[in-house]
Amino acid sequence: MPQPARKIRLDFSSLLGPLFFTWVVQLLFPVILQYLVYEKQKKLKIMMKMHGLKDGPYWMISYAYFFFLSSAYMLFFVIFGSIIGLKFFTLNDYGIQFVFYFLYINLQIALAFFMSTSFYDVKTATVVGYIYVFGSGLLGEFLLRYFVEDTSFPSGWIVVMELVPGFSLFRGLYEFGQYSFTGNYMGTSGMQWRDLSDGPNGMKDVLIIITVEWLILLPVAYYLDQVSSSGGRIRKNPLFFLQCFQKKRRSQSFRTPSLHPDTSKVSVEMERPDVAQERGVVEQLLLEPNNSHAIICDNLKKIYPGRDGNPEKFAVRGLSLALPRGECFGMLGPNGAGKTSFINMMIGLITPTSGNAYVQQLDIQSDMNEIYTSMGVCPQHDLLWETLTGREHLLFYGRLKNLKGAALIQAVEESLKSVNLFYGGVGDKRAGQYSGGMKRRLSVAISLIGDPKVVYMDEPSTGLDPASRKNLWNVVKQAKRDRAIILTTHSMEEAEVLCDRLGIFVDGNLQCIGNPKELKARYGGTYVLTMTTSSDEEEEVERLVRRLAPSANRIYHISGTQKFELPKQEVRISDVFNAVERAKSEFPIYAWGLVDTTLEDVFIKVAKGAAGSSDLLS
């Protein structure tokens, strides 16, 4: 009997859905991966950590953010598909769709965290992320689908394939597509809860696999993140989780003198009295701790292992230093002296090879998380988000330091004003648009926000114009009143203006320590007389100088210009002036000058002396 004509109902979403939707759902994966690796590559993660953000909250905040983003994306995906009437969405039970997408986005976030532990470069991570998205979709369509539809293929192998998250997503979407296609064709509904027990329906297996994988992958990713050193911070012991069960022990004194025998191969050198005295202060403070000192370094050493046939490098050779509150300590030293290595140990970026340090009586090797809550860092290279404004940076770091509400707003405004980023709306521009100097000033402001008790500044004024540098000095001078600051610099002027005490480092050794005046008196002890005459009068000038100071030392002479060091105990400034005035009537003097020893002279003297016969400063 002839049948009445029937309209063929073909729903393309059900046919093409699995491949197309696998790509659409996974598109957020490379975005999340890129975000995570970006924070690691730019060292923003460690910067946040150094300002008090612990690993747990960092993971929770990041996870919650990605979950919110993914949920909004998936909600839009399902609602939009339903509104335009795609049977793929409208015929299948919304409850199953909700559970499936909910579980999958969680697995996807966990997978991104997991994969981010093995990348340190954003570009590589992004490329791998997109290859994974498109590859898993295509392989799902042309391989997994083929096996699923081949009834002779062992189902156990299909489950194994579905362990790849992209395949489990494909399989789930494939099942939705099958049910909606049949439902549409037959005029019935798509997948319902009761259908999960259907033999060929792989959705139940997929839901179990996704749940189990999510619950395993997330803690594994956290573990790998803790034990890997990528991101530039110290890697934890593989058994770090066992430490939670160990009771923290705090003794009355930090240590007894014999607990840390010096076993390194560094040869014993005669220590200068000032350095030996500082070591004595440290010994005393370790035995009888008190609150007066914010930082105590106890024979801190850093040796980098030899690589590519190069010998090991002694970057810091047993530094003992005690820093009271309210002091700004300046570290001077030629390039490669070990200043940054010392700061990196103090801020938890690298582990000391031996020795230890205590910040606010907390151990840098075991209590770094607590130390971070009262520490500020201005690193050698600016660690900023290109897309955040200066104000947003300060708001963020201020919140990390527990500032809230009006106090936070006020601190941020004051901070922006203090580093000259307030007026003209500069603070509301993105950091990516800042000049080098503006970035540097923002880094200094970040290091000081939230009243940290200990601040490390690694060459804070690098790249600043003279006016900005003076302004920055005022900021640091204000800041040092109630906190300890360690500052490295190559500017002697800066060191002299800002630092209460200075230490000159050469080749990992502290060569001298004291306030700038003391150092000049101790290592200078001379006036420098410069005089320019004609070349014929050079001997005459030398005779004049020898009459003034018999043990004067000629340090420089070229075509009539000569420079002499005159020991302070042998001359009086007035005698020099009188002698030069008399000499002017005997032979022409084109120019002359008498200056006290500068810090620069001290620096060069100490560094040259320490370098000895090596060619460090030749």
Rounded to a whole number of angstroms, the minimum distance from the CB of residue 254 to ligand ATP is 25
Is residue 337 a contact residue for ligand ATP (CB under 6 A)?
A: yes
Enter the tokens of residue 273: 């009295």
Euclidean distance between the first and final Cα of the chain, in Å?
Answer: 109
- The smaller minimum CB distance to ligand ATP, of residues 9 and 381, is found at 381
Site membership for ligand ATP, residue 45 (CB under 6 A):
no
Interface mask (CB under 6 A) for ligand ATP, residues 433-462, using x and -? ------------------------------
286-305: which residues touch ligand ATP (CB under 6 A)?
A: 304
What is the DSSP secondary-structure string of 320-340?
Answer: EEEEETT-EEEEE--TTSSHH
H or E element that contains 386? none
Contacts of 440 (CB under 8 A, 6+ apart): 382, 460, 461, 462, 463, 464
333 near ligand ATP, rule: CB under 6 A: yes
Told to check if 48 binds ligand ATP by CB under 6 A, we report: no
Residue 610 CB, nearest distance to ligand ATP (Å)?
13
User: Smaller CB distance to ligand ATP: residue 320 or 360?
Assistant: 320
Question: Taking the CB of residue 88, how many other CB atoms lie within 10 A of it?
Answer: 28
Least distance from C-beta 522 to ligand ATP, angstroms?
23
Choice from 313, 399, 522, 608 touching ligand ATP (CB under 6 A): 313
Residues 515-547, buried b or exposed e (16+ Cβ, 10 A)? ebeebbeebbebbbbebbbeeebbeebbebbee
Residue 341 within binding range of ligand ATP, rule CB under 6 A: yes
Q: Phi then psi for 430, rounded to 5 degrees?
A: -70, 145
315 belongs to the binding site for ligand ATP (CB under 6 A): yes
Interface residue with ligand ATP among 14, 22, 340, 443 (CB under 6 A) is: 340
Structure-token pair, residue 268:
């014993």
Asked if residue 311 binds ligand ATP (CB under 6 A), the reply is: no
Closer to ligand ATP at the Cβ: 458 or 601? Answer: 458
* Nearer residue to ligand ATP within complex by CB, 381 or 517: 381
One-letter amino acid for residue 555 of the chain: I
Could you give the count of Cα atoms lying within 13 Å of 496 in the half-sphere of its Cβ?
A: 14
Angle at alpha carbon of residue 224, lines to 222 and 230, rounded to 5°: 110
| Smallest distance, ligand ATP to C-beta of residue 380, A | 6
Q: CA angle, 18 as apex, 13 and 20 as ends, to 5°?
A: 75
- For ligand ATP, give the closer residue by CB, 339 or 440: 339
Of these, 336, 463, 560, 567, which contacts ligand ATP (CB under 6 A)? Answer: 336
Sign of CA dihedral 462, 463, 467, 468: negative
Provide the minimum distance between the beta carbon of 330 and ligand ATP in the complex, in angstroms, as a whole number.
13
Percentage helix, strand, coil for the chain under 3-state DSSP, each rounded to 5? 55, 15, 30
The CB-of-508 to ligand ATP minimum distance in angstroms stands at 7
**DSSP per-residue string spanning 275-310:** HHHHHHHHHHHHHS--TTEEEEEEEEEEEEPP-TTP
Site for ligand ATP in 140-169 (CB under 6 A): none
Nearer to ligand ATP, 341 or 418 (CB): 341
C-beta closer to ligand ATP: residue 333 or 352: 333
Considering the complex, state which of residue 341 and residue 389 has its C-beta at the smaller distance from ligand ATP: 341
CA distance 281 to 304: 28
**Chain contacts with ligand ATP (rule: CB under 6 A):** 304, 313, 315, 333, 335-341
